[in-house]
Amino acid sequence: MTDGTYNYAYLDEQTKRMIRRAILKAVAVPGYQVPFGGREMPLPYGWGTGGIQVTAAIIGRDDTLKVIDQGADDTTNAVSIRRFFAKVAEVATTTRTEEATVIQTRHRVPETPLSEGQILVFQVPIPEPLRMLEPRETETRTLHALSEYGVMQVSLYESIARHGRISKGYNYPVMVNGRYIMSPSPIPKFDNPKLDRSPALQLYGAGREKRIYAVPPYTPVKSLDFDDHPFEIETWEQCCELCGSKESFLDEMIVDDDGKRLFVCSDTDYCERRRTLPEAAE
């Protein structure tokens, strides 16, 4: 902000240093949740304050920022966060995945493959993958320390016993570099394979829970499964009504009172590119 009321990128320099140190430790121990002194942000907890703090600590005037929510650049929360950074960090913004140096996201990984040098910042509501199995932080911390993940295996197995399959659609747990079980944030499991050995750096920020974690580029990220029940992603019989894609994650919309459904790409940039550039649709 240029009126001198707030520091560049909103956070004061000492807070940025604290977050930067946490980010470096997070990169050094992939998948481990680093506690950090999360600050109150001018946006509500649960609305991306962790992602915003991470972005504020890394972003500079040379960056080009893309913000998505549910894969779309124009959902209200994405608009609000993009406006915030355009204002406080004087940063260029884009909707094009390949033009962005920093992409802040809620609930999706872009369909367009990311490249080396890009940073993907995830907004995380509950960073602890074991939280719904064990609500106590004191317990889950010990389980991570001991690499004692039986409780997660049992939970997935119970799902198979009950439903014949792992009935988890989003926030599907992953194992990072063979050591830490990690919450990929509430992305659909459709996006999990994109995390594996991605050339981009993944940073995860949980503001209310005050945790930062990371997956460095080219790091193995395995979705948990069993030999006889391998991990699989969502598929649709339909293709995108707008661009015809059969490969992208589709949003289902109810378009009339009789409940007629229409399917379109969740990633608005990917969909628009396919429509405007016919060769992209090939």
Partner 1 sequence: MYVAVKGGETAIAHSLDLLADKRRGDRDVAELSLEQIDQQLGLAVDRVMTEGSCYDRSLAALAIKQARGDLIEAIFLLRAYRTTLPRFGDSLPLDTSAMVAERRISSTFKDVPGGQVLGPTYDYTHRLLDFSLATEGDRPAAPTAPADTNRTLPRVGDILEREGMLEPPPLDEASEDLTRQPLTLPASRPVRLQNLARGDEGFLLALGYSTQRGYGNNHPFVGEIRYGQVPVSFVPEELGFAIEIAEIDVTECDMVNQFAGSHDVPPQFTRGYGLAFGHSERKAMAMALVDRALRAEELSESATSPAQDEEFVLAHSDNVEASGFVQHLKLPHYVDFQSELVVVRALRAEVEARRQQAALDQAAE
Partner 2 sequence: MTDLSTLGPGLADPSHDAQQLFRAILDATSHPGRIVSLPAAPAGPGMLSAAAAAYLLTLADGDTPVWLAEPFDRPEVVNFLRFHAGAPIVTQRAQATFGVVAATTPTPFDDFNLGTDAYPDRSATLIVDVPNLTGGPTRRWRGPGIDGHADVAIAGLADAFWHDWATNHALFPCGVDIVFTAGAELCALPRSIAVES
Applying CB under 8 A, which residues contact partner 2?
A: 7-9, 13-14, 16-18, 20-30, 32, 34-35, 57-62, 117, 141-142, 144-146, 177, 179-180, 197, 199, 201, 214-219
Token couple for 276 = 């405007």
Question: Which spans of this chain sit near partner 1 (rule: CB under 8 A)?
Answer: 6-7, 10, 12, 18, 35-42, 44-47, 49, 69-72, 74-80, 83, 106-108, 125, 136-138, 163-165, 167-171, 186-190, 208, 210-211, 234-236, 242, 249-253, 255, 262, 264, 266, 268
| Count of alpha carbons within 13 angstroms of residue 130, beta-carbon side | 24
Q: Which of 31, 38, 48, 71 is catalytic?
A: 31
Computed over its alpha carbons, how large is the radius of gyration of the chain? 19
Catalytic (active site) residue 240: yes
Q: Which of 164, 166, 148, 147 is nearest to 156 (CA)?
A: 166
Catalytic (active site) residue 239: no
CB distance 265 to 240 below 8 Å: yes
Residue 38 contact among partner 1, partner 2, none, beta carbon within 5 to 8 Å by kind? partner 1
39: DSSP letter: P
* Length of the chain, in residues: 282
Residue 178 contact among partner 1, partner 2, none, beta carbon within 5 to 8 Å by kind? none
Closest CB to partner 1 among residues 204, 219: 204
Closest CB to partner 2 among residues 82, 144: 144
Longest dimension (CA), the chain: 61
Going by C-beta distance under 8 Å and a sequence separation of 6 or more, which residues neighbour residue 192?
172, 174, 184, 221, 223, 231, 233
Q: How far is the CB of 11 from partner 2 (least distance, A)?
A: 10
Residue 280 contact among partner 2, partner 1, none, beta carbon within 5 to 8 Å by kind? none
Residue 161 contact among partner 1, partner 2, none, beta carbon within 5 to 8 Å by kind? none
Token couple for 157 = 């197995």
Q: How far is the CB of 27 from partner 1 (least distance, A)?
A: 19
Q: How far is the CB of 260 from partner 2 (least distance, A)?
A: 47
As to burial, measured by CB atoms within 10 angstroms (0-12 exposed, 13-18 middle, 19+ buried), residue 136 is exposed
Closest CB to partner 2 among residues 60, 135: 60
Q: Which of 82, 90, 169, 177 is nearest to 121 (CA)?
A: 82
Q: Which of 37, 50, 240, 244 is catalytic?
A: 240
Q: How far is the CB of 68 from partner 2 (least distance, A)?
A: 22
Q: Which of 48, 205, 207, 243 is catalytic?
A: 243
Token couple for 146 = 């001991």
Residue 145 contact among partner 1, partner 2, none, beta carbon within 5 to 8 Å by kind? partner 2
Going by C-beta distance under 8 Å and a sequence separation of 6 or more, which residues neighbour residue 234?
169, 188, 189, 190, 249
Residue 79 contact among partner 1, partner 2, none, beta carbon within 5 to 8 Å by kind? partner 1
Q: Which of 15, 17, 30, 48 is nearest to 207 (CA)?
A: 48
Q: Which of 87, 88, 121, 92 is nearest to 107 (CA)?
A: 121
Catalytically active residues are 31, 240, 243, 265, 271
